[in-house]
Chain A
Amino acid sequence: MFLKRYLIPRLIQYVLVIVLGITAVFFIPRLLPNDPVLRTIAEMRARGAYLEPGAMDKIISDLQQMYGLEGSLWDQYLAFWGRLFRGDLGVSFFQFPTPVIDLIMTALPWTAGLLLTTTILGWVIGNLIGGFAGYYSNKQWSRVLDAIAMVVRPLPYYIFAFALLLIFAYYLRWFPISGGARLGMRPSWSWPFIQSVLWHSFLPAMSILILSAAVWFQTMKLVVQNVNAESFVTYAKLSGVKEGRIVSRYVIRNALLPQITGLGLSLGLIFSGALITEIVYSYPGLGTLLYNAIINGDYNLIMGITVFSILAITTSVLIVDLIYPLFDPRIRYM
């Protein structure tokens, strides 16, 4: 039952969403009037004088190959998938001839490091505080926290990130204005490098952490208040179960269930938010890579980042979905 009603539909959805998303990425440029490939080739030709002739030809042939300017649309589509399976996302137009996948792989550890830590920390902190605030929702401190969250929560990532940057980097000068580590330092597992990374990523991390914790705080508080009104909690209270047990084994454990699902659903949003954060802080991850790609009109790189993100996010959502039954026996023993 569990297999048939939970696991298999989810795996099918996972595969279908990836196919759908990547198909959209493939077809969007073809359906829109402004074909980026043709435009880029034209731009390349115009600039041809500044490039060595060999590179120029290579770019154009790569573009033609990548977009399969020969053959039917269907052939091109299949060829596109074929390359994807080999992990080939083409080459960057503007950092020629670096393969897009290499650029992504260089930026990825920065983004993954920043995002994984802040996403998990924000979730844990927000749920922890929100859980207590929900259980003690009549207390003064709970109302104060709620009021703070009411102001912080609607702020968009970039404005919040920008404000932190202004206050702590420009005026107070406690933290660096940009970058992922001190310039000229080579990535290594040495203490000075790690220290520099931590110091540089503190503000971007804080901006994501505070905002996502505020979101989790608010939803958790509401969920806890609702669970608190459920009959199994009332029943346990009327049976004199000790408060500590009620909070931990009844309220929090049940309130976490929708939060686990929510974590999966919000990954996409957090991911987009983090990209903006990176741009504001010039942090050397995927966000900054994306920004440069946009500025340079490096369509191939943007497409690569998009394809990569589709895979990364749907996979993370799938992982959350697979973990969920461990916490909910109603799914495990359907």
Chain B
Amino acid sequence: MKNNTILRTERLHAHYILDVYGKAKVIKAVNDVDLAIQEDEIYGIAGESGCGKSTLLKALAAAVEPPLRIISGRVTYRIAGAEVDVSTLTQEEKRKLRMEYIAYVPQGSMSVLNPVSRIRDTYRDFIESHISVHQKGEAFALAKEHLTELGLPVKILDAYPHQLSGGMRQRVTIALATLLKPRIIIGDEPTTALDVVVQRGVVQLLKDVQAKLKNTIVLVTHDMGVHANIADRIGIMYAGKIVEEAPTEKIFSAPTHPYTHYLINSLPKFGDKSPRESVPGSPPSLANLPTGCPFHPRCPHVMDICKQEMPGYTQVASNHKVACWLVGEGTHGKAA
């Protein structure tokens, strides 16, 4: 099989190291994450709020700044056929890669766009930072053309962010992300805080963009419904770890990790009025992780070994791996 991996992490550990009045506090937001994300794939990352999804995305975007630090492991991009370790890149090299090679779609909250600039000026800032523009109106013309292509109204260029609806702000961020036809787009909860109808439109826009560019999208959201709709493969994240990873249909048809069960069961089912099951208990503090399997305080199947040792990965099918003592010792060896 041809190597199609475009974005890879190897045993990645990323922690926030805080200095609270002279006492170091470590928040272990990403623990031992291995990802191999393919070209022309939509990869979904799911998990409760606070489990480290955004932190993982920061590492993927090569945007690690204090207090966040990469403790061990690495992140690599495949650029023009060659694997590049992002930690070897200079600031300026990384800056140039953004938008052109890897673009970021944030949550389209009220404060995601510069509140004192018109959308047109945001376009100009983004464009002129990456391509040398010779004439004055060039960036504006490019922006107009691009919006038309995506089927968005051109007149929003004259608006200020506070004059746009949440859905429209989100579309603007997606439009900006696709402007320079990047190979990778990473999105952090781009559908959260939108109502269902608007959400569907935004998901469709992302899908259309991907179909056209044939690029890779890494999408973070805690909403399993969105994942079911768009993702090709899903990684389930818990306490900074990927605890299960499989193609979307397998995650939904044959969930294996107890946590994944809960996530799927918490989805509303069509026609089913019975109350939805949510995960009992609360997520662990990443500053103070439980020993062994981090899920054990909340797990209905907990065994003695779970409390002492972290399970390694077991390959339950060719592209389906799980970290849980219920399915075996793990072939990956015992993880840290």
Contacts and interface: CB of A to CB of B under 8 A. Distances in A.
Interface in A235-262: 235-242, 245, 249-250, 253-254, 257
B111 A232 contact: yes
B98 A239 contact: yes
Interface string B228-259: 00000000000000000000000000000000
A253 B116 contact: yes
Interface string B259-281: 00000000000000000000000
B125 to A, nearest CB: 5
Interface stretch (A21-29, A40-48, A65-73, A326-334): A326-334
B116 A241 contact: no
A237 B94 CA distance: 11
Nearest to A327: B116
Contact of A232 (B97, B113, B177): B113
B140 interface: no
A239 B113 contact: no
Given A138-B66, A235-B173, A333-B160, A240 B114 contact: no
Contact of B106 (A235, A242, A253): A235
Contacts of B106: 231, 234-235, 238
A241 B92 CA distance: 11
B111 A240 contact: no
Contacts of B116: 253-254, 257, 327-329
Contacts of A239: 98-99, 103-104, 126, 129, 176-177
B163 A236 contact: no
Given A240-B129, A249-B117, A231 B163 contact: no
Nearest to A240: B98
A332 to B, nearest CB: 9
B162 A330 contact: yes
A230 interface: yes
A245 B103 CA distance: 19
Interface residues of B, number: 35
Nearest to B94: A240
B126 to A, nearest CB: 6
B125 A249 contact: yes
B68 to A, nearest CB: 12
Interface in B82-106: 94-100, 103-104, 106
Contacts of B63: 237-238
B130 interface: yes
B61 interface: yes
Contacts of A249: 114, 117, 121, 125
Given A234-B106, A249-B125, A240 B97 contact: yes
Given A236-B125, A245-B125, 6 more contacts: A231-B109, A232-B111, A240-B94, A249-B121, A329-B160, A333-B162
Interface of B: 61, 63, 66, 94-100, 103-104, 106-107, 109, 111-118, 121, 125-126, 128-130, 160, 162-163, 173, 176-177
Interface of A: 138, 230-232, 234-242, 245, 249-250, 253-254, 257, 327-330, 333
Q: Which 9 pairs show the lowest CB-CB distances between chains A and B? A: A240-B98, A238-B104, A240-B95, A329-B160, A242-B129, A241-B129, A235-B106, A232-B114, A231-B112
